[in-house]
A and B are shown apart, each in its own frame.
Chain A
Amino acid sequence: MISQPKYRIPKKGLTVWRIHAAIEAVILLVFVIVAIVLAYVFDWPKWIYLISIVVMIADLVFGIYFFPKIRWEHWRYEVREQEIEIQQGLFIVKRTLVPMVRVQHVDTSQGPILKHYHLASMSISTAATTHTIPALTEQEADQLRVHISELARVAEDDV
């Protein structure tokens, strides 16, 4: 049994996810309202009301509360001298190992919500894959970006 990667993403990251989920919930709410109004106007069967309301409540409970929480609990990462390890997932927990020599470039990005909480997301790209750490504190993101770009050298062999 290998030990898990050491670091969690900051707790504020969870808040950001919840805000994202809430925004999506608002969009869903619009659809639900449209469905209910249509059902009322055109006299559609009653179960449409029921399904719409159940979907909405399920989204509020799971989409905003449980899923981000579970996801946050599963999320771990660790940047070591020669490798990066990431663990993530909701129902299926996935652990990915990327050797430093395979890293081609690192990007950090920051949307308005992340910025408000002084967070940033970081993507690490290899020739074949991209791995994103969705929330890091700004200083940490900067530090890691510098670290990784120092450590990641273009491999001798072709790709």
Chain B
Amino acid sequence: MSRNVNRLHPITIMISFFASLKSIVIPGIIILLGSGLNYSFNPFSKQFIDTLIVIVIILFVLCMILIISYINWKRFVYWFEDEELRIEYGLFVKKKRYIPFERIQSLNYKEGIFHRPLKLVKVSIETAADSGGKSEADLTAITRVQADTIEKEMKKAKKQLSEVEQNERVDFYNSPNHQSVRTIIHRMSKKDLILLATTSSGIGVVFSGLAAIMSQFDDWIRYDELYGQLQSFVKLGTIIVIIAVLIFLLISWFVSVVITFLSYYEFVVEKEEDKLFISKGLLEKKRITIPMKRIQGVRIVENPFRQLFGYSTIVIESAGSSGEKGERKIVLLPLVKKQLAFKILEKLFPETQWDLPLERAPKRAKRRYLLTYLYWLTPIVLSISYFAFPYGLWVLIILPLALILGAWQYKSAGYAANEQQLTVVYRGISKTTFVTFKQRIQAISLSQSYLAKRKSLGSMTVHIMSGSSGSVASIKHFDQENLEGIFEWYQPNTHSLQNKK
């Protein structure tokens, strides 16, 4: 292994420069605007000096950021030694980080707009010790060749480890089939991509639909005759506001379509040995790696709009960071027909059953489902329609909708368990089928209110690990004895430890 010290590509300076710029731009603007808008470029104006000072300060800050970015880049070196990836970095305090190759769980790649033209890649290195959703180390910009080297070294180290145990040595690079087979699990079609993008924000679609319908009403409700001039003036204001809101919604929908299209472009899932690779993106390419053994659970999410067309989204919950900031859940299949999803999942998790017959919520629970939202919605809705009469009456529509949602949730909820696996189905607005395994569950809680106790109903919450913290799935208003059955199923039954007090 070489002791040649590697540096990141100099473009790193620009990347970190713009990254820090992005983080100060908003506070910066607030400060500038906050000091009053008395800027002037007229050399004879009183404010000219002030303006100059502000410009000088801005330039100074920019220079500082650039210099810091440069020093950071200059100080950041990495090399391979003793089966380890060694990194040294730090502006004032020199920090060293040595990561043994065999400890590396996964490498995640990201190619942003700066990387693409230079054939560079950002590599995030993850180990089991990831904390707070951050990766162990980030190599902001290195060439693909270097990235491949790291991957090879990592594989070599792991291979050697297993082969030392077998007392057998193979020249890794010379053996022709050291590259294990990578099979494509799923590739999203263009049609699905467009469907995904356009349905990405369901609310936008619904609202623009509603707007179209509402505009028809205007023709035959003759507001002018109903109200006086003052009202029509108010109405004009309202209409302008409504139109503005609709335009805003339409634009935000359009933006979300574009963003979704760009970020899910060329979505491919591959599998190699015990790892999953997900790559996606048009302008910014990403590739994340998920070791299969870190997967804690799978969610099949069907939002009502997509459920209508038989589509679903598959999300996996994995321990450790997902390589994406703020996103704990990893989308495995953004949009697939449910039947196809089952086929793919069967291939990935052969021991899991995806369509276990579900135990449903008992009949006597139906009333509780229906009333869930009405308890607190009714007083609010009634007071709104009272205080904002007559327009407030429209709010009453919410009540039957809440009732329908409750009924729907009742119909959707269910659970099933076999030897090792637990399936929980629930609906918020989207229906979620949550599948996890006995040895992955961190804790199970049963809860019961006083009223539920009288009807011997209860709720269950299942905790699993996800990202750097946890994730839960719960079902409400099920038969108490059945839920206790799950409790017992989970229990590693043994006698009590504590002695009598």
Which residues in A have their C-beta under 8 angstroms from that of B443?
Answer: 96-98, 102, 126, 128-129, 131
Quick check: B444 and A96 within 8 Å, CB to CB?
A: yes
Q: Is B321 an interface residue (CB 8 A)?
A: no
Which residues in B have their C-beta under 8 angstroms from that of A95?
Answer: 445-447, 487
Q: Is A93 an interface residue (CB 8 A)?
A: yes
Quick check: A81 and B319 within 8 Å, CB to CB?
A: no
Quick check: B496 and A92 within 8 Å, CB to CB?
A: no
For the complex, give the distance between the alpha carbons of A89 and B296 in Å: 28
- Partner of A159 from the list B319, B445, B488 (CB cut-off 8 Å) is B319
Q: Is B465 an interface residue (CB 8 A)?
A: yes
What is the number of residues of chain A that contact chain B, defined by CB distance less than 8 Å?
35
For the complex, give the distance between the alpha carbons of A64 and B257 in Å: 54
Quick check: A83 and B491 within 8 Å, CB to CB?
A: yes
The B-contacting residues of A in range 78-122, CB under 8 angstroms, are: 78-83, 89, 91-102
Cβ-closest chain A residue relative to B447: A94
For the complex, give the distance between the alpha carbons of A97 and B447 in Å: 12
Q: Is A61 an interface residue (CB 8 A)?
A: no
For the complex, give the distance between the alpha carbons of A94 and B484 in Å: 12
A106–chain B nearest beta-carbon distance, Å: 14
Known A81-B497, A128-B463; contact A99-B492, beta-carbon cutoff 8 A: yes
| Size class of the contact patch on chain B | 35 or more
For chains A and B in complex, what number of residue pairs have CB atoms within 8 angstroms? 103
Q: Is A157 an interface residue (CB 8 A)?
A: yes
B314–chain A nearest beta-carbon distance, Å: 20
- Partner of A79 from the list B294, B448, B498 (CB cut-off 8 Å) is B498
Which residues in B have their C-beta under 8 angstroms from that of A27?
Answer: none
Quick check: A158 and B497 within 8 Å, CB to CB?
A: no
Cβ-closest chain B residue relative to A89: B447
For the complex, give the distance between the alpha carbons of A79 and B444 in Å: 15
Quick check: A158 and B492 within 8 Å, CB to CB?
A: no
Quick check: B497 and A147 within 8 Å, CB to CB?
A: yes
Interface centre among A93, A127, A147 (most CB of B within 10 A): A127
For the complex, give the distance between the alpha carbons of A151 and B487 in Å: 21
Q: Is B470 an interface residue (CB 8 A)?
A: yes
Quick check: A96 and B484 within 8 Å, CB to CB?
A: no
For the complex, give the distance between the alpha carbons of A60 and B392 in Å: 39
Quick check: A128 and B464 within 8 Å, CB to CB?
A: yes
What are 10 sample pairs from A and B whose C-beta atoms fall under 8 A apart?
Answer: A2-B484, A93-B449, A94-B445, A96-B444, A96-B446, A102-B442, A126-B443, A157-B439, A158-B128, A159-B440
3 A-B pairs with the lowest CB-CB distances in the bound complex, closest first: A128-B470, A94-B447, A82-B492
Chain B interface (Cβ < 8 Å from any Cβ of A): 128, 291, 293-294, 296, 319, 439-450, 453, 463-466, 469-471, 481, 484, 487-488, 490-498, 501
* Given contact pairs A94-B448, A97-B445, A127-B470, a sample of 6 additional A-B residue pairs in the complex whose CB atoms are under 8 Å apart: A83-B492, A97-B491, A98-B442, A126-B463, A128-B465, A158-B291
